[in-house]
Chain A
Amino acid sequence: MRTVTQERALAILSPLAVLLLWQLASDAGLIDQRYVPSPAAIAKAGWSLAATGELEKHVWASLRRLSIGFVLGAGPGILLGIVMGLSRWVRAALDPLVAALYPIPKVAILPLLMLVFGLGDASKVAVVAMSVLFLSIINTTVGVVQLDRIYFDVARNYGTPWYRLFARVILPGALPTIFAGLRISLGVSLVVLVSAEFVASNSGIGYLIWSSWQTLVVENMFVGIIVVTILGVLTTFLLHECERLLVPWRQI
C-alpha cells in the first residue's frame, strides 16, 4: 500500500519538477524565450485564450471530429473484423485489400477526402475514421481468429444459439484484442486529426497550433501543444475506463 502511494506521488511530482526546472531555467535566461516561453508565460496565454472562449471553440471542434470519426471507424471496423475472423472466405477476399490500404498514410488521402467530403468537418471526420477503421479491422480479426476453438466446442455442446454465441463467446473473447486496437487507434487518430487541422481547417487544436506558428505567437502554439497532450491523456483514460468496465476479467 505504501509503495503504491509513493508511486502515485512520484507520478505527480516528476512532471511538476520538470515544470519547475523549466521555469527556473527560463528565469535564469538559460532558455531563449522567443522559441520556448516559460511555463508561466504559456499559462498566461492559455488563460487569455480561454477567457475569450477561443480555446473552448478549438477544443470542441477537435473533440467533435475525433469522437465522431473514432466511432465511425471503430464500429464498422469491429463488425467487419468479426466477420473476417469467423469466415475464412471473407478473410481470403478482404485480407489483400486491407493489407494494401492499411499502410497508406491517411493524411496522404486528405486532399482526396476533401474533394469528396468538402472543406468542412466531414473530411476531417473521414480521415480519422479511415485511420481507425483499418486498425480496428486488423485487431478484431486477430482477436476472433485467436479464440481457442474449445470455446466453440463448449458453446455447441451446450446448445448455444448463434446470437448468444456472438454475444457471450465471440465478442467477449475478442474484446481484449479489440481494445488493444482501439488504444493504438486513439493515438493515431490524434496525430492524423492535428495534421489535418494544420492544413485544412480554420478551427481545432491543430489549427490553433499552426496559425500561432504562422503569426509567431509562440505562447499560443505551446498552449495548443499542451492542450492536445491533455486531450490525448484524457481520451486514453476514458478508453481505459471503458475497458475496465467491459473486460473485468482481465483486471484481476
Chain B
Amino acid sequence: MSAIKIQIDRLAKSFGQDGGKVRALADFTLTVADGEFVCIVGPSGCGKTTVLRIVAGLEKADSGRVDIRPSGAERPLNAMVFQEHGLFPWMTVEDNVALSLEMRGVGKRERREKVGFFLDMIGLTRCRRHYPQQLSGGMRQRVSLARALMADPEILLMDEPFAALDAQNKLILQDELLSIWEGSQKTVLFITHGIDEAIALGDRIVVMTAQPGRIKAIVPVDFPRPRSAAELRADPRFGALELSIWRMLEDEVRATRARTEGRAEGRA
C-alpha cells in the first residue's frame, strides 16, 4: 500500500436543536491511501454525504478530525462532484467547467484554451456554449466531472454523481470515470447507493450502518485494473460480492425503514 492520503479519525456529527437532535455520524474512522478509490455505501440518511462534506470542509464535525496530507504541489486539496443539480444554470458548459480557473482569477482567454482538453475528454466540445438545461442528465454529470478534474485536485469527492441517471448511462459514465481515473492517480471518495456501482469502481467498499452512521465493514474489492464496469458484471465473483454486501446492508435498510415508518405513525 502506498502512502496515507486521508486520515479520518472518530468523526461524529449531529444535526438539529437539542430537542430533536439527530445523530448523523458516530465514531467514523477511516484511512485512505494515496491514489486509492474508496466507495462508501449505506442506507439513506446514514451520514455518508456528511462524511464527504466534512472532508470537503463544507461542514464542521462535532468531534474527531480529518487529516489530509497535501502533496506540496500548488493545487486544491479537493474538488467535489455534486449530485444532479450542482451545475450553475446561468453558466455555459465551458464556464461551468472553467469555474475553478475563473475563481482563481485566470483570464477569459486562458480559460477558453485550458478548458478545451477537458471538453474533448468528456466529448462535449460541440456543446461548449450550451447551458446545462439544454443537456441530458448524463451530459450534465460529465460536465460536473470535468469541472472537478479541471481544478486538478488531489482528492476527488463524489456524492452520488450518477444516482439520477438511467441504468445504461450509468454504465457508460462509470466506465468513463474508470478510464479517466486510472490515468490520473487521484484519490477518490465515492458515495453511492448502488452496491454494484461500488464494486465496479472501488478498491475498497466502506459499508455503513443506519443512523447514527458507523462503519459496519470495510470490504476489499480485488478485481484487477483496468476494469470495465460492464464486463465486471459477468464475473461470478461480482454477484457473490454484491450479495454478501447486500446481506450486511439489508438489516440496516430495514432498520431505517422501521424507524421512518414508526415516525410516520407517531405523527398520524
Contact = CB atoms under 8 A, between A and B. Distances in A.
A252 B130 CA distance: 10
Given A159-B76, A252-B134, A150 B85 contact: yes
Contacts of A247: 90
Interface residues of A, number: 22
B79 A157 contact: yes
Contact of B89 (A155, A157, A161, A249): A249
A35 B99 CA distance: 64
Nearest to A155: B103
Interface residues of A, dominant DSSP: helix
Contacts of B58: 153, 156-157
Interface in B78-133: 78-80, 82-83, 85-86, 88-91, 99-100, 102-104, 131, 133
Interface string A164-206: 1000110011010000000000000000000000000000000
Interface in A202-252: 247-249, 252
A154 B89 CA distance: 13
Contact of A161 (B57, B80, B103): B103
Contacts of A175: 90
Nearest to B96: A154
B76 A154 contact: no
Contact of B79 (A158, A164, A172): A158
26 contacts: A148-B85, A150-B83, A150-B86, A151-B88, A154-B88, A154-B99, A155-B103, A156-B58, A157-B56, A157-B58, A157-B79, A158-B79, A158-B103, A158-B147, A158-B151, A159-B76, A159-B103, A159-B104, A164-B103, A168-B88, A168-B102, A172-B90, A249-B90, A249-B91, A252-B133, A252-B134
5 closest pairs, A vs B, by CB?
Answer: A172-B90, A249-B131, A160-B103, A157-B80, A249-B90
